[in-house]
Structure 1
């Protein structure tokens, strides 16, 4: 067994879609994501990495949907590193100015995402637990390491920054060891946690089309770019669709309703048939 990982059962495929759950709230998000991946028709494994902060009752719905659960430890980072990346200190030094993160957002836990490089797969596509797969994305397994979409949600000026909510990886213990060496360097401060670190570690990252990681703020910031038939993965960055009350309910109601359909057990709409925001203005 790989140190720091505790899989419940053996793998069924050499490829996997993986996500990370660090508390009960993100387990709620992961349920909708896991269901959406299953409905895409993929034959790849669906892996949910989870920390000890998640109860078995929160994980059971994911298990029932067929996910392979893999318990993980948080990374062995130093006390000084942990203090620098604690929620209050991190958000004080690098505040979010475009939107708000929910209170259950725990920035330090984000670094546990790096354990996906320890998984026993040849190829992995990682998706944050606040995403939905709207159509099959198996072609991503043929993309090289490391690919991610640009962090575009306000203007095209954001194309130089990556968003780590969807990425392609080739698990490797050697790569993981190198990551740990660079991550907790003296006085290291990663402004947007794993996202900033990964852009540093993979400076020549390959850009995915934004349809593989369409950020929800595009809906109201750049409505002319929204095209339901093209979107493959929808990402609820900032506020989460299961928050009650939701701070942007009025602005994001159609997206929240779509997430709720996947989170439930009934039918889901064909996203290609949904109206674009310009038609609702």
Structure 2
């Protein structure tokens, strides 16, 4: 029995209170911080859906306690049963050497192999529909309508040019849990010599070649702030995704450029002085101030 199945009926896992769930993944203390801000933002959106935090055994109880206090359903998961050769190819050093991140900087706590744990979402079969959101994101308004989107739906990976609309970003996606789908994923995932350049993102794009596009505002990547400022509209953004550098990192290389977004994340994390999102100044106005 997989860890995800074993804990769902335990004290930690609890029981589903809704047929729908927002799901995130926490694999270390840093992402636990991110999940706190995310969970608080979902709660403030007025959604009645469950908030499920998949977490690996590397996350200690003290880091999970704030999430439990926010009413999250905590579900411990194992890493996927992948071959040693697969794990070696996708280890941080090997993967980043073969497919370097040239557009931004991944923080030291990022472990590419952890990303595949997202696929455990398909084992949450007590839910009819799930919306996965990376723990380095915020929900800025009610996005419950996403539960009615088909599987598999994701927003494009747009943060540098509009030419990236053909690629998905797996930081937000809509799925229908199914053990059959999960088994098919495992069969496809670990083939001899296979290499998923962007881990789960490349895999999901391949597994669901006819993926349905969500509006870009449902996964607004933070680099849009300075790369495509004319695309930024606070009144439309449903999910703000802090890709690459994280808002809880002190003095990261983009911290000066992204200060308004970092300040917003800090407000949600602390649960204090959360501004009216629609009234915030956009990047063009900030630059001209």
TM range (shorter): over 0.9
Counterpart position of 2:93? 88
1:86-165 equivalences in 2 (<5 Å):
86-119=91-124, 120-165=126-171
Counterpart position of 1:73? 78
Q: How far apart are 1:3 and its partner, in Å?
A: 2.4
Gap regions ≥5 residues in structure 1: none
Q: What is the aligned counterpart of 1:48 among 45, 53, 66?
A: 53
- Partners of 1:278 and 1:72 lie apart in 2 by 43
Normalising by structure 1, we get a TM-score of: 0.99
Are residues 1:206 and 2:205 paired? no
SS in 1 for 2:121: helix
Normalising by structure 2, we get a TM-score of: 0.96
- Partners of 1:176 and 1:4 lie apart in 2 by 14
Counterpart position of 2:178? 172
**Number of residue pairs matched by the alignment:** 280
1:123-272 equivalences in 2 (<5 Å):
123-272=129-278
Q: How far apart are 1:164 and its partner, in Å?
A: 0.2
- 4+ residue segments displaced more than 4 Å: none
SS in 1 for 2:256: helix
Are residues 1:12 and 2:11 paired? no
What RMSD, in angstroms, separates the aligned Cα atoms of the two structures? 0.7
Q: How far apart are 1:247 and its partner, in Å?
A: 1.6
Gap regions ≥5 residues in structure 2: none
